[in-house]
Amino acid sequence: MFVIGVDPGLSRCGYCVLRPGKSRSRAVALGVMTTPVDAPVARRLALLQRDVRELLDEFPPTVLAIERVLFQVNVSTAMGVGQASGIVMAEAASRGCDVVEYSPNQVKGAVAGDGAADKDAVAEMVQRLLGLPTVPKPADAADAAAVALCHVAHSPALTVAPR
């Protein structure tokens, strides 16, 4: 059983494939899908969609957890994040996969114990909870792992809470 966590973005879309376990969740895959910033938006969305399909083909998830964007100062960034979120959620839902959204504060609270924790604190807790030798890089990958861990913490059906 896999839980996929996603930190959506059009330029960089973080992902983490998590396998919940009895004593500790394990990251099976962790990284970032990227699109060229100089390409037209439609092409970038198509590239992201292809990458998401490949990820879901390789690691069919039980659930896909995604960070919900509540506020962005930069309107063009918010549009791209929203578009990327839509692609990811639609691809997962079209396969019959449950899709769950978590706010940034929910993710931070579940992983770091503080809904106002900074990115470094969250990344360090991701490292500890997953038993990784280093803090995951780039930050989008660490954020995606935090989203997956948040789902494990909030899901009574899974065998392990991350802490």
Catalytic residue among 51, 67, 91, 143: 67
Reply yes or no on whether 124 is catalytic. no
Classify residue 143: in a domain, yes or no. yes
Q: Mean pLDDT throughout 3-21?
A: 96
The secondary structure of the chain as a DSSP string is --EEEEE--SSEEEEEEEE--SS--EEEEEEEEE--TTS-HHHHHHHHHHHHHHHHHHS--SEEEEEPP---SSHHHHHHHHHHHHHHHHHHHHTT-EEEEE-HHHHHHHHHS-TT--HHHHHHHHHHHHT-SS--SSHHHHHHHHHHHHHHHH-TTSS----
Catalytic residue among 38, 98, 114, 140: 140
Classify residue 81: in a domain, yes or no. yes
Higher pLDDT, 159 or 57: 57
Q: What is the pLDDT of residue 69?
A: 80
Domain extent for 125: 3-154
pTM: 0.92
Q: Mean pLDDT throughout 74-87?
A: 88
Reply yes or no on whether 67 is catalytic. yes
Reply yes or no on whether 120 is catalytic. no
Q: What is the pLDDT of residue 77?
A: 81
Model confidence over 52-80: pLDDT tens digits?
999 999 999 999 999 998 766 677 788 89
Number of domains in the chain: 1
